[in-house]
Amino acid sequence: MASTACFMIVSKNDIPIYEAEVGSVPKKEDAAHQHQFILHAALDIVQDMAWTTSAMFLKAIDRFNDLVVSVYVTAGHTRLMLLHDSRNDDGIKSFFQEVHELYIKTLLNPLYLPGSRITSSHFDTKVRALARKYL
Amino acid sequence: MEPDASIETSSMIRVAVLPIAGIPPLLFRDYAAMLLRHHTVSLNSISSFYTEHQKSPFANQPWESGSLRFKFILGGSPPSPWEDFQSNRKILAVIGICHCPSSPDLRSVANQFAAACKSYSSSLVQRCFAFCPGDSQLEEESNKGSNLVLFPPADRQTQEFHLQTMVQDIAASLLMEFEKWVLQAESGGTIFKTPLDSQASLSSEEVIKAKKRRLGRAQKTIGDYCLLAGSPVDANAHYSTALELTRLTADFFWYAGAMEGSVCALLVDHMGQKDPVLEDEVKYRYNSVILHYRKSFIQDNAQRVSPLSFELEATLKLARFLCRRELAKEVVELLTAAADGATSLIDASDKLVVYVEIARLFGALGYHRKAAFFSRQVAQLYLQQDNKLAATSAMQVLAMTTKAYRVQSRASSEPASDAGQSYADGGKMHHHSIVSLFESQWSTLQMVVLREILLSAVRAGDPLAAWSAAARLLRSYYPLITPAGQNGLASALANAAERLPLGTRCGDPALPFVRLHSFPLHSSQIDIVKRNPAREDWWVGSAPSGPFIYTPFSKGEPTHNNKQELTWVVGEPVQVLVELANPCGFEVMVESIYLSVQSRNLDAFPVSVSLPPNSSKVITLSGIPTKDGPVSIPGCIVHCFGVITEHFFKDVDNLLIGATQGLVLSDPFRSCGAAKLKNAHVPNISVVPPLPLLVSHIVGGDGSVMLYEGEIRDVWISLANAGTVPVQEAHISLSGKNQDCVVSVASDTLKSALPLKPGAEVTICVTLKAWQLGVMDADAAASKGVPGTSGKQVKDGSSPMLLIHYAGPTTNPGKLQMGSVPAPGRRLVIPLNICVLQGLSFVKARLLSMEIPAHIGETYTKLVKSRSDGTAQENGSERSDRFMKIDPYRGSWGLRFLELELSNPTDVVFETSVSVEIENPINKESLSDRTCAEFGDPKTRIDRDYTARVLIPLEHFKLPVLDGSFLTKGSQMDGITGGRSSSFSEKNIKAELNASIKNLISRIKVRWQSGRNSSGELDIKDAIQAALQASVMDVLLPDPLTFGFRLAKSSSNNSANLNPPKQADMQVYCASGGSIIAHDMTPMEVLVRNNTRETIKINLSVTCKDVAGENCIEGDKATVLWEGVLTGIIMEIPPLQEIRHIFSLYFLIPGEYTMSAAAVIDDANEVLRARARTNSSDEPIFCRGPPFHVRVNGTA
């Protein structure tokens, strides 16, 4: 498991709809902000990168200091973004694919308004479990 | 590390521009701006100033196309330790700027300039420009020797021309200096050192090494000067040599420098061209530059100095060169590398510069989020320095990031706010566009940025910025902030406000949230009605009327209908309801809040409100329109936390929409428990010039009028014109329920008072008659226990309303065009609040009949009376036996009464009086007077909770003739009656009958009075009609036969009395007394009258009974002897005639007897059968007369 990792889902309107600190290092408030800042800035790179490849998993597209941003873009242009400090592409890819499935299940919920925040605690639990498994 | 570095920087001559001798900063900036325009001077233009003293080292100088480039550094800069390495870092010229009027002594100016130049040892040319010298200064000779250049006062254009010439002169001088320097350097033995080289005393090895490297370094520096002199070809030649030499001596740092220079030369040479080949070349060479800078890293002096900054600078230079959208990927890689490198920079300011440059380049690339990220890094570096200037810088840098993080102050984002405008117009909005309003809302980041802005603003001592940041933070992110944090922000707001001057305005609203609640429509008192100029009744059709929500006929103007329109009047206060919400955990004191009006034609009145924690409040904001025209109210001006802000309704509406879409954290109104409100859209409001204003009040109190059922009362309504315009026309109409209770309205009084001047008053009278309560009402009243005390009736809307449509003058005197819309009229609605109390209630009506036998005298009393009815004298004489009038055709004292049972469920006493108007068309007035006198007296008092009966005598209603047509039911009757009653048609008679019933009913009036001023009339028509319906024939129609008895005086004069006796006769008979004595033959006659129009055959019989009711004529104990025929007297009576039958009785025993006549009608026709209500045609019809009283006196 990566020592530092921050996972976020950003809707196609660039609104963060889910965020989780999934690192093993006890999280600090400031660091969490910094992670979000890095992910937010990486969106600029993603917006160009997403159209250069047909793959959903864009691999590590950006970095700041020793933190790397990996991104997975769904067909609906929802971006699953992971900030991490370890290089484990296969694990990250599996993680993204599993979370994507979870996200699709959430979308199938008729009471979920696409583009709004994901508040389901079940989703959160699952994501954290996946993070422990793959990262 | 220097900001703004690019590849071309190497070819720029640095010129320090210094303010000299107390020049005002504004002027200095102005003059400097003039100077800055001349950053490029073509070689072509300086050739006239240039003189070749010796052979120029710049052999390939492009005199036609080349140019010198200047980099003006305002205020100058300290010398750089890397001056030797990169000659463009040297300040090669100094220009002083001075303003002569502010420093009259030119000599001291020259001295000061000279002193200023001392710190720029590397400068080759110095000039001091003195602007606007006076005449005396111009003439002064002392400045001839110095570098002082005077610019004579002239217009701007001349001055600029002058300046250009001077710059060209400087350029020429510099060029000559460069030549001199290069010639000297080629020959001389200058040692070029950089901080990278060991600073310690040179060991022999070092000296040898330095000597080896000197040549290469000199070549590089000469190349630099060639570049500065605008000769890239020469520069390139020198750089090539330098590259060779430095490569050989492994002087990587200088190698990289020379390479950098060569790229610059290449670019200057290919000025303006950008082909891919060149680009690739630049990329290739620069990558090698970066590589060699990295190679030159020496571990032992890494603590002190490192070439890293040059490496980063080179990286940034390349990034800047490539900075284009197509090459974004490469640029991003370069910039990421630079950012990585920056972490290992030692000097904080270097780091700052790198981040600034990275941010700028990302911005230029269109990566605003990246730019914002690095800007924030810069701000954090600034914040690490604990001083005010750094804090100010941090604040400014952060302010630049606000756009990318979507937290910009409204003051700096004016055009963006217009995007939402369409929403207010359309009323609806697409989901997409709502989402777009909240796009990129990263609340965590936004909060952090705002908090940093707040921190830096507080440190920088900018209270307004601090206030604005705290306000944005509090307003947008209150749900994410703990109550303690909210309190902290509130105190931050208060602290900032303390340091702000009173009445400071800020673009960013803080709390509370303000949304439009509703526009109260005009009260019915001052309703405005559009005038329809085409119609006399101008108010018709202007207001939506009728019960239909949708009318197909009004479909024509859809644009007109979808927005509600509101009309306000100049000078009349208006109100708007707004809802305030404070979702935070502290109390918000709104010092004042008032409507913000863009159109500036409304005086808004401020209100002060206090909002407890987590509460919302609906408040009324009012104002007075001052000028006619449209009004737009986009929001409110709020003075809260010491600062004045404008709160737009639209913003809150968008926020609420976002909350419903789950895009915003929370709905501030709902979290305060405010009711969900439908989207109140702002109507089109227009202000019209003053209109008249009628104010009404009901004289004697505006409370509801309490009336008992059936009560009649006058109500006085006073109307006053409270406006400033006279009322020219007015029209009164009624609306609402129970309109018929308004008996009359004195609209003439109002009409006659027109025009009603401002301030004038008129009182009109309205006569009301209370309606009957329905069954439901009565029940409701009863169940309430205290009937009628609550004003429930009024609320039910059962009261009618008076509508007064009124208007001022049709056109304003100012504008008389045909097209102009006439000033609207107004409608005043005066609800007549009638509260009907249950009054006397009618229980039932009954018809009672009663017969008092008449004494048999010598005359037919009733006949006399009936024939003479209508004469006043006769009536007067009959007064004594008021009710006991004798039915003229029955021959007996038959009476019929209508008994009304009335109950009084109220808590007051009622007095009732019954009157029956006697029909007399001739002298109606005297009659009615008499009626009152006659029947008014005996009032029946009905106490509370009691029931009383009132008797109404029915008399004088009999018709004289029993006619078949009254009873016709089928066509078979026609044959019988049609021929005989030729004068009346069937229908007429029927109608007459109905009319006479109605007439009868209408003449019965039951009036009541209660207390001093309540009086009315019971509405019992229906009840009476129902009571009479059953026995109407008995009441109205005469019997077919009437019987009468009379004592016959003697048989001799009987025969003469076929005709009814004259009045004189009656008097005689009455006087004689007519007593009957026993044991005496008593001649009597029975008179039978046929009241029909047909001859009737009858079989008459007379019976006499004693007091005990036994038959006196027949049987064992007969007390009467008889003479003549008493049974089976067959007679035939012609129509409307009387027949007399004389007989005698001989009474044996004195006492009281009753005589009655009866007849069996033979061959009765249909009319008679119908009257007798027989079932079958065979049944004999028996007609019995009323009993007559006979008193037989004894003989003794």
Amino acid B1167: pLDDT: 67
3-state secondary structure of B940: strand
Tokens of B424: 């207010």
- In 10 A of CB B684, how many CB atoms? 13
Q: Is it the case that residue B1138 has pLDDT exceeding 60? A: yes
Q: Do B436 and A13 touch (CB under 8 A)?
A: yes
Q: Is it the case that residue B542 has pLDDT exceeding 60? A: no
What phi, psi does B465 have (nearest 5°)? Answer: -65, -40
Q: Is it the case that residue B1094 has pLDDT exceeding 80? A: no
Amino acid A100: pLDDT: 92
Residue scoring higher pLDDT (B592 or B981): B592
Q: Do A15 and B441 touch (CB under 8 A)?
A: yes
Chain B nearest-CA distance from A61, in A, is 10
The answer to whether A130 and A91 are in contact (CB under 8 A) is no
Domains along the sequence of chain A with CATH: 5-134 (3.30.450.70)
Segment B509-525 shows an average pLDDT of 75
* Closest chain A residue to the Cα of B326, Cα to Cα: A48
Which residues from chain B sit within 8 angstroms of residue A33, using beta carbons?
444-445, 448
Quick one: three-class SS letters along B486-547?
HHHHHHHHHHHHHHCCCCCEECCCCCCEEEEEECCCCCCCCEEECCCCCCCCCCCCCCCCCC
Amino acid B169: pLDDT: 86
Which residues from chain A sit within 8 angstroms of residue B439, using beta carbons?
13-15
Residue with tokens 């007969």: B1118
Query: Residue B663 and residue B657: Cα distance in Å, rounded?
Result: 9
Q: Which one of B326, B445, B657 makes the best mutation probe of the A interface by having the most chain A beta carbons within 10 Å?
A: B445
Tokens of B441: 């809302």
Residue with tokens 């169940």: B783
Query: Residue B191 and residue B179: Cα distance in Å, rounded?
Result: 19
CB neighbour burial string for B1054-1077, b if at least 16 within 10 angstroms, e if fewer = beebeebbeeeebeebeeeebebe
Query: Residue B64 and residue B66: Cα distance in Å, rounded?
Result: 6
Helix, strand, coil percent values for chain A (each to nearest 5):
40, 25, 35
* Closest chain B residue to the Cα of A13, Cα to Cα: B439
Segment B684-694 shows an average pLDDT of 77
The answer to whether A41 and A71 are in contact (CB under 8 A) is no
Q: Do B445 and A38 touch (CB under 8 A)?
A: no
Element (H, E) at B483: helix B483-499
Query: Residue B1017 and residue B1004: Cα distance in Å, rounded?
Result: 11
- pLDDT digit string (tens) for B32-62? 888 888 888 888 888 788 877 777 777 777 8
3-state secondary structure of B1055: coil
φ/ψ bin of B259: left (φ > 0), alpha (ψ from -120 to 50), beta (otherwise): alpha
Chain B nearest-CA distance from A96, in A, is 22
CA distances (Å), B859 to each of B221, B870, B1049, B1091, in order?
A: 167, 21, 10, 20
What distance lies between CA B653 and its chain's CA centroid? Answer: 15
- Among A36, A38, A41, the residue with its CB nearest the CB of B444 is A36
Q: Does B368 touch chain A (CB under 8 A)?
A: yes
B694-812 and B7-187 share a CATH fold: no
Q: Which one of B446, B448, B449, B665 makes the best mutation probe of the A interface by having the most chain A beta carbons within 10 Å?
A: B448
- Among B332, B336, B435, the residue with its CB nearest the CB of A115 is B435
Task: Give the single-character DSSP code of B98.
Answer: E
Q: Does A21 touch chain B (CB under 8 A)?
A: no
Strand partners, B899: B846, B951
Amino acid B784: pLDDT: 42
- Among B343, B370, B662, the residue with its CB nearest the CB of A44 is B370
Query: Residue B321 and residue B935: Cα distance in Å, rounded?
Result: 121
Amino acid B423: pLDDT: 38
Residue extents of the structural domains in chain B: 7-187, 284-500, 513-546+562-688, 694-812, 841-1036, 1041-1193
Query: Residue B868 and residue B891: Cα distance in Å, rounded?
Result: 15
Q: Is it the case that residue B1012 has pLDDT exceeding 80? A: no
- pLDDT digit string (tens) for A82-103? 888 877 788 888 889 999 999 9
Length of chain A: 135
What phi, psi does B504 have (nearest 5°)? Answer: -70, 140
Please provide the DSSP assignment of B742-793 as one string: EEEE-HHHHHHH-SB-TT-EEEEEEEEEPPPP-HHHHHHHHHTSSTT-STHH
- pLDDT digit string (tens) for B432-471? 566 666 666 788 888 888 888 888 888 888 888 888 888 8
Query: Residue B144 and residue B137: Cα distance in Å, rounded?
Result: 12
- Among A19, A38, A117, the residue with its CB nearest the CB of B662 is A117
Tokens of B435: 């989402």
Reference B729, options B805, B842, B636, B635; nearest CA is B805
Burial class (CB in 10 A: 0-12, 13-18, 19+), B280: exposed
Reference A65, options A115, A111, A4; nearest CA is A4
Q: Give the lowest-confidence range in B854-858, B971-975, B1088-1092.
A: B971-975
Q: Does A17 touch chain B (CB under 8 A)?
A: no
Amino acid B20: pLDDT: 82
* Closest chain B residue to the Cα of A10, Cα to Cα: B440
3-state secondary structure of B1090: strand
Q: Give the lowest-confidence range in B63-72, B546-555, B649-658, B934-943.
A: B546-555
* Closest chain B residue to the Cα of A44, Cα to Cα: B367
Q: Do A116 and B445 touch (CB under 8 A)?
A: no
Q: Of 2.60.40.10, 2.170.120.40, 3.90.180.10, 3.40.50.620, which CATH number belongs to B1041-1193? A: 2.60.40.10
Q: Do B448 and A48 touch (CB under 8 A)?
A: no
Which residues from chain B sit within 8 angstroms of residue A37, using beta carbons?
373, 376, 445, 448
Tokens of B30: 């102005």
3-state secondary structure of A103: helix
Question: Which CATH code for domain B7-187?
Answer: 3.40.50
Query: Residue B9 and residue B372: Cα distance in Å, rounded?
Result: 26
Residue scoring higher pLDDT (B964 or B298): B298
- Counting residues of chain B whose pLDDT is more than 70, the rounded percentage is 69
Mean pLDDT score of chain B: 72
Q: Does A48 touch chain B (CB under 8 A)?
A: yes
Q: Does A69 touch chain B (CB under 8 A)?
A: no
Tokens of B411: 């003051």
Amino acid B512: pLDDT: 83
Segment B98-107 shows an average pLDDT of 78
Query: Residue B375 and residue B397: Cα distance in Å, rounded?
Result: 6
Which residues have C-beta within 8 Å of that of residue B1142, sequence separation ≥ 6?
A: B1048, B1051, B1054, B1083, B1084, B1085, B1124
Q: Is it the case that residue B560 has pLDDT exceeding 80? A: no
Amino acid B936: pLDDT: 46
What is the CATH architecture of B694-812?
Sandwich (2.60)
